[in-house]
Amino acid sequence: MIPVSQNTDELTRSILTDQIGFNLRLAYFITSQLFNDAFTDLYITPIQFAILEVVAANPDLTQRQIAELVGTAPSVLVDPLRKLERRGLIQRERAEQDRRQHNVRLTEDGIAFQEQARVRIGQVEANLTDDLDDAEQMTLLTLLQKLVASHENT
């Protein structure tokens, strides 16, 4: 999955092997590959999946709220939201309380699409954690959540 030279017996990653950040980067690369393989025919990116997921769980979110929930800047969402809207998966309506903002919700097509995408993301997660038993998966998830929570809003 991760491209490595043929003669790896002579090569070393030095201290990188013991670095959490480096291993997270490798895990992210693997996760991205698995996601892309599973979602190629659905033409969706990880950020678009995340948007659909948080909007499915929280209808009528603003762009700022979506950004906070998926961990990115509101400006990063402009293009993914536009693409999802063009595909008819979301709709944006002006917020009654603040006409400058738009509330986002899934369309009926978006709901059906998200249900299909949830099945696929389950397959991605299963492939990613194949070599981990249930306890190891829970430990990994708990530690990652703890790491993320300790750095949110900093």
Task: Tell me the per-residue pLDDT of 12-54, one tens digit each, with 9 for 90 and over.
Answer: 888 898 999 999 999 999 999 999 999 999 999 999 999 999 9
Q: Is the separation of the CB atoms in 98 and 88 below 8 Å?
A: no
DSSP state letter for 141? H
Q: pLDDT, tens digit, for every residue of 64-79?
A: 999 999 999 999 999 9
* Whole-structure pTM value: 0.86
Q: Is the separation of the CB atoms in 69 and 51 below 8 Å?
A: no
The answer for residues whose C-beta is within 8 angstroms of residue 49's C-beta and 6 or more apart is 35, 39, 117, 121
Q: Is the separation of the CB atoms in 48 and 84 below 8 Å?
A: yes
**Which domains are present in the chain?**
16-148 (1.10.10.10)
What is the predicted pLDDT for the residue at 101?
Answer: 78
Comparing 98 with 129, the larger pLDDT belongs to 129
